């Protein structure tokens, strides 16, 4: 399952295509497909296969042996995810076929394919590939400031910093991504005066991990996720990487972590959304690498981040109150994701996820799961940015970056921390995306909401995930219905052509049915979190005591088909 469609992938040169063909001709690999499934066994039925006093590993193996015997096929034990939930593999059939067969077994509660997810990276915008000719951008960290003039979607965070300044509570935000570069001067560990905790690495596939210690371990650093033609042709590529995945290292986890927790007021670089108060800690959890990451790594990482138990992994000593997921893939929310989100919410943990970047298609997994705060991306003027997905599952929208101009420096990218290495990391590197590349995407909308949620919990730790969602929606600013210089239509629900293929929906003016309750206002959300005593059970739709209004619907014009816009 690929998160970005082929028409948004970087264009490959003839030379790279020829080199791939040569590599493949030398390797001539013929591999039997491997089915990967996440299975949850029933509490009562699973006891039939489990011997008394069996260890956790023996329980997992016994359950799989039992189902293998009843199905008359070889099913292999994979990584543990939760109590009675684990990954399994088999050969000779697809993941969908294996899930269907397992679902028929009397001991199985549910079985779903173990999908490969991808970071919610930016699409191939006209200024994305070229980068910036000089340090910039022209608007700096426009997305944090109060709305003014042409900039209407910025999140107005400085007032939130003032509100939080008088509190002493510490809130942990887990960033589930590609890991982090601990050597960036704006992302120091807490012990070194920064905001970053040690974290954990959940990537179990050696090809995806691309590090010296594949498997789950305590090193959450990002070794780089670059993909070459040789990688695609390699015998180690058992996960289906293709030429569309060939790219330099993204440093995606470092970028999302910087938006949340970059050191503020250190006379260096940038400010994080959580500000100078040192009330928020960033917990990096590595779940993605070369070509993405599997659900069987992401779901246990979500549980671990929330302080829940995961087979074979030490308990998280610093449980998160907020989890940010700037990743996803197409399809409906699976039972495995929904079960995890429900448990995590019940533990008092807020889950925030990016909508996806497939140009106005349906919201991705896990942002479309019940209990997740799905976030869509906005242009600086407040309209939906062309790449952002949309739909009724979205709770709120925030800036996702856009360029406006087709030549010269990009005006409104999302400035954040990164590394200058094209493959392996450049050590002790003080790089920011404005100086080396243009960073845009719903990956960068989600951390703004996650960071705001953390500030809300810092001023009122008793807030539940439902409270946080309600307060964010109640304080959201109204979507604009005018303001661009070309014809822009009203956003509609995701659409499909006669062949059942999704239809792109580029820039459009948001409605509350497609982009959530409105535009994120961090100051208003934190202020209401601190003062509200109503129980916070509202469902959104207006800012009640503060007087902010939400758009009920808009109908404007049509985007010019000949102009590529973000």
Question: Would you say residue 171 has pLDDT above 50?
Answer: yes
Tokens for 104, please give them: 């028929």
Higher pLDDT, 489 or 547: 489
**Cα separation values, 273 from 156, 256, 449, 470, Å:** 10, 11, 9, 20
Q: Are 491 and 397 in contact (CB under 8 A)?
A: no
**Tokens coding 551:** 């758009």
Q: So what's the pLDDT on residue 266?
A: 86
Predicted local distance difference test score (pLDDT) of residue 23: 42
Single out the catalytic residue among 359, 443, 446, 470.
443
Spatial CB neighbours of 232, under 8 Å, sequence gap ≥ 6: 20, 23, 241, 242, 243, 245, 246
Q: Of residues 252, 297, 397, 521, which has the active-site annotation?
A: 252
- CA within 13 Å, CB half, 122: 29
Average pLDDT over residues 152-162: 94
Spatial contact of 471 and 147, defined as CB atoms under 8 Å apart:
no
Residue 471, φ and ψ in degrees, nearest 5 = -65, -40
User: Is 443 tagged catalytic?
Assistant: yes
Partners of 221 in the β-ladder: 180
Name the residue among 251, 365, 249 with its Cα closest to residue 302. 365
Q: For residue 233, report the phi and psi dihedrals to the nearest 5 degrees.
A: -85, -5
534 versus 372: the higher-pLDDT residue is 372
The Cα-based distances of 538 to 302, 375, 524, 532 in angstroms read 27, 19, 15, 11
Mean pLDDT, the chain, rounded, equals 84
Residue 32: its pLDDT value, please? 52
Q: 59-114: per-residue pLDDT in tens?
A: 888 899 999 999 999 999 999 998 889 999 999 899 999 999 999 999 999 999 99
Domain ranges of the chain: 32-114, 119-464
For the domain covering 119-464, report its CATH number.
3.40.50.200
- Residue 351 structure tokens: 């889950």
Interval 228-248 mean pLDDT = 95
Give the pLDDT confidence score for residue 538 in this predicted structure: 41
Residue 497 is a catalytic residue: no
Is residue 485 annotated as part of the catalytic site, yes or no?
no
Torsion of CA 348, 297, 171, 340, to 10 degrees: -10
What is the per-residue pLDDT across 535-549, written as a single tens digit (0 to 9) for each? 544 444 333 322 222
Name the token pair of 224. 């780089």
CA angle, corner 326, sides to 358 and 201, nearest 5?
135
Distance (Å, whole) CA 301 – CA 319: 12
The HSE-up count of residue 434 (CA atoms within 13 Å, CB side) is 19
Tell me the mean pLDDT in the region 27-47: 71
Instruction: Check the CA dihedral 283-289-292-298 and report its sign.
Output: negative
Between strands 200-201 and 431-432, the pairing is unpaired
Class (C level, CATH) for 32-114? alpha beta
For residue 188, name the pLDDT band (cuts at 50, 70, 90): very high
Integer Cα distance of 436 and 416 in angstroms? 11
Question: Angle at which helices 56-71 and 95-103 pack, to 10 degrees?
Answer: 90
Tokens 């400010």, residue located? 271
What is the three-class DSSP state of 135? coil
Topology alike, domains 32-114 and 119-464: no
Peptide bond before 308: cis, by omega within 30 degrees of 0? no
The torsion angles phi and psi of 13, rounded to 5 degrees, stand at -80, 160
3-state secondary structure of 432: strand
Is the pLDDT score of 132 beyond 60? no
- In angstroms, how far is the first alpha carbon of the chain from the final one? 25
Q: What is the pLDDT of residue 268?
A: 85
Helix (H, G, I), strand (E, B), or coil: what is residue 243? Answer: helix
Contacts with 276 (C-beta within 8 Å, 6 or more apart), sequence order: 161, 264, 265
Classify 482 as helix, strand or coil. Answer: coil
Which of 49, 114, 125, 177 is the catalytic position?
177
Side-chain half-sphere CA neighbours of 241 within 13 A: 26
Nearest to 85 by CA among 52, 34, 37: 37
Contacts of 505 (CB under 8 A, 6+ apart): 359, 360, 361, 390, 491, 492, 494, 495
Eight-state DSSP code of residue 451 = H
- Average pLDDT of the segment spanning 305-314: 96
Token match 């944090």: residue? 144
Residue 14 backbone dihedrals phi, psi, to 5 degrees: -60, -35
In DSSP terms, which residues pair with 112 in a beta bridge?
Answer: 38
Task: Give mean pLDDT, residues 333-348.
Answer: 98
Query: Which DSSP state fits 332?
Result: P
Angle between helices 252-261 and 446-459 (to 10 degrees): 40
Global pTM?
A: 0.84
**How do strand 495-496 and strand 502-503 relate by DSSP bridges?**
antiparallel
């Amino acid at each position: 399952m690929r998160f970005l469609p082929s028409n948004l992938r970087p264009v490959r040169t003839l030379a790279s295509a020829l080199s791939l063909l040569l590599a493949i001709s030398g390797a001539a690999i013929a591999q039997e497909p491997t089915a990967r499934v996440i299975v949850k066994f029933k509490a009562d039925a699973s006891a039939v296969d489990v011997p008394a006093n069996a260890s956790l590993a023996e329980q997992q193996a016994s359950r799989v042996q039992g189902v293998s015997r009843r199905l008359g096929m070889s099913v292999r034990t994979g990584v543990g995810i939760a109590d009675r939930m684990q990954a399994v593999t088999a050969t000779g059939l697809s993941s969908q076929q294996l899930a269907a067969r397992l679902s028929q077994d009397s001991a199985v509660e549910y079985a779903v394919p173990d999908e490969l997810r991808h970071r919610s990276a930016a699409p191939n915008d006209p200024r994305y590939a070229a980068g910036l000719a000089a340090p910039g951008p022209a608007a700096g960290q426009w997305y944090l400031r109060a709305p003014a003039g042409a900039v209407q979607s910025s999140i107005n965070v400085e007032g939130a910093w003032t509100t939080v300044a008088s509190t002493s509570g510490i809130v942990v935000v887990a960033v589930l991504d590609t890991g982090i570069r601990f050597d960036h001067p704006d992302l120091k560990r807490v012990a070194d005066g920064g905001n970053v905790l040690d974290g954990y690495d959940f990537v179990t596939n050696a090809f995806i991990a691309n590090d010296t210690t594949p498997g789950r371990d305590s090193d959450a650093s990002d070794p780089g996720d670059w993909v070459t033609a040789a990688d695609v042709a390699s015998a180690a590529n058992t996960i289906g990487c293709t030429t569309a995945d060939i790219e330099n290292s993204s440093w995606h986890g470092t970028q999302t972590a910087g938006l949340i927790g970059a050191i503020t007021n250190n006379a260096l670089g940038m400010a994080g959304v959580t500000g100078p108060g040192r009330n928020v800690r960033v917990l990096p959890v590595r779940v993605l690498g070369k070509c993405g990451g599997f659900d069987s790594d992401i779901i246990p990482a979500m549980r671990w981040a929330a302080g829940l138990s995961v087979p074979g992994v030490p308990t998280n000593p610093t449980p998160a109150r907020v989890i940010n997921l700037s990743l996803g893939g197409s399809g409906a929310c699976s039972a495995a994701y929904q079960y995890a989100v429900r448990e995590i919410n019940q533990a008092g943990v807020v889950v925030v996820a990016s909508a996806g970047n497939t140009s106005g298609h349906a919201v991705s997994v896990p942002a479309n799961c019940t209990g997740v705060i799905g976030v869509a991306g906005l242009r600086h003027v407040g309209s939906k940015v062309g790449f952002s997905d949309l739909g009724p599952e979205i709770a709120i929208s925030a800036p996702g970056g856009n360029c406006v101009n087709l030549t010269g420096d990009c005006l409104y990218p999302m400035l954040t921390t990164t590394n200058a290495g094209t493959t392996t990391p450049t050590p002790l590197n003080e790089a920011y995306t404005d100086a080396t590349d243009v960073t845009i995407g719903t990956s960068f909308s989600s951390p703004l909401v996650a960071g705001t949620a953390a500030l809300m919990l810092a001023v009122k730790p008793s807030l539940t995930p439902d409270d946080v969602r309600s307060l964010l929606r109640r304080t959201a600013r109204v979507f604009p219905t005018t303001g661009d210089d070309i014809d822009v239509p009203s956003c509609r629900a995701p659409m499909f052509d006669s062949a059942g293929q999704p239809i792109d929906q580029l820039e459009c003016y948001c409605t509350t049915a497609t982009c959530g309750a409105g535009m994120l206002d961090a100051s208003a959300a934190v202020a209401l979190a601190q003062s509200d005593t109503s129980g916070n059970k509202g469902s959104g739709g207006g800012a009640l005591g503060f007087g902010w209004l939400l758009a009920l619907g808009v109908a404007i014009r049509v985007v010019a088909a000949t102009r590529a816009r973000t």
